[in-house]
Structure 1
Amino acid sequence: MTFKIERKQEYYQALIDKETEYEGLFYVGVKTTGVFCRPTCPARKPKFENCEFFETAKQALLASFRPCKRCRPLSHPNHVSEIVRTLVEAVETNPEKRWKDADFQQISIDASTARRQFKKRFGMTFVEYARARRMGIAMKQIREGEHVIDAQLSVGYESSSGFRDAFSRIMGTAPSSLGNIRILKAAWLDTILGPMIAIADDEALYLLEFVDRRGLEREVERLRQRTKSAIIPGAASPIHSIEMELNQYFDGKLIEFQTPIRYLGSAFQQKVWEHLRKIPHGETQSYSELASLIGHPTAYRAVARANGANQLAIIVPCHRIINANGDLGGYGGGLSRKEWLINHELQSK
Structure 2
Amino acid sequence: MITDENKKEYYQALIDRKTEYEGVFYVGVKTTGVFCRPTCPARKPEFRNCEFFTTAQQALLAGFRPCKRCCPLSHPNHVSELVQKLVTAVEENPEKRWKDEDFQKLSIDPSTARRQFKKRFGMTFVEYARARRMGLAMQQIRAGKAVIDAQLSTGYESSSGFRDAFFRIMGSAPTMHGKLNILYASWLDTQLGPMIAIASEEALYLLEFVDRRGLEREIERLREKTKSAIIPGYTKPIRSIEHELNQYFDGKLREFKTPIFLLGTHFQKRVWEELQKIPFGETRSYAQIAATLGNPTAYRAVAQANGANQLAIIIPCHRVINSSGELGGYGGGLGRKKWLIHHEQQGIRNTLI
- TM-score (normalizing by structure 2): 0.96
Which position in structure 1 is the counterpart of 2:33? 34
The DSSP-based 3-state class of the residue aligned with 2:179 is coil
Secondary structure of residue in 1 paired with 2:267: helix
| 1:319 to 2:340 alignment | no
Alignment of 1:1-349 (within 5 A): 1=1, 3-349=2-348
Q: Which moved more, 1:6-15 or 1:329-338?
A: 6-15
Deviation of the 1:124 alpha carbon = 1.4
Moved more, 264-273 or 61-70: 61-70
Tell me if the contact between 2:271 and 2:302 (Cα under 8 Å) persists in the aligned partners.
yes
| Partner amino acid, structure 2, of 1:36 | F
State the 1:181 CA deviation.
1.0
Deviation at 1:200, TM superposition (A): 0.2
Deviation at 1:128, TM superposition (A): 0.9
Q: Distance in 2 between matches of 1:297 and 1:277?
A: 19
Question: How far did residue 5 of structure 1 move?
Answer: 3.2
Normalization by structure 1: what TM-score?
0.97
What is the identity, as a one-letter code, of the residue corresponding to 2:48?
A: E
Question: Offset of 1:42 from its aligned partner?
Answer: 1.8
Taking the aligned partners of 1:342 and 1:4, their CA distance within structure 2 comes to 16
Shift of 1:347: 0.9
After superposition, the Cα gap between the structure-2 partners of 1:180 and 1:145, relative to the gap in structure 1 and judged at 3 Å, is closer
Runs of 4+ in 1 over 4 A off after TM superposition: none
Residue type of the alignment partner of 2:261:
R
Q: Secondary structure at the match of 1:184?
A: strand
Q: CA deviation at 1:105?
A: 2.2
**AA at the equivalent of 1:90:** A
Supply the AA of the counterpart residue of 2:327.
L
Query: 2:351 — aligned with what?
Result: none
Are the counterparts in 1 of residues 95 and 155 from structure 2 also a CA contact under 8 Å? yes
Cα distance per residue 1:247-305 (max 9 Å; x no partner): 11111111110000000001111000000000000000110100000111111111111
Q: How many residues align?
A: 348
Q: Larger deviation: 274-283 or 115-124?
A: 115-124
- 1:117 deviates by 1.8
Letter in structure 2 aligned against 1:97? K
**Partner Cα distance (1:112, 1:11) in 2:** 37
CA deviations over 1:185-207 (Å, ceiling 9, x no partner): 00010000000000000000000
Q: Please say if residues 141 and 178 of structure 2, whose CA atoms lie closer than 8 Å, have aligned partners that are also in contact.
A: no
Q: Say which SS state the counterpart of residue 232 (structure 1) adopts.
A: strand
Paired with 1:265 and 1:240, the residues of 2 have a C-alpha distance of 24
Give a deviation string over 1:1-35, Cα, whole Å, max 9, x none.
5x333322221221122110000011111222221
Q: CA deviation at 1:64?
A: 1.2
Partner SS state of residue 178, structure 2:
coil
AA at the equivalent of 1:147 = A
Distance 1:108 1:64 in 2: 41
Q: Secondary structure at the match of 1:178?
A: helix
| RMSD of aligned Cα (Å) | 1.2
- Distance between the aligned counterparts of 1:336 and 1:271, measured in 2? 27
CA deviation after TM superposition for structure 1 residue 111, in Å = 1.8
Structure 1: 5+ residue stretches without partners: none
**Contact 2:94-2:129 within 8 A present in 1 as well:** yes
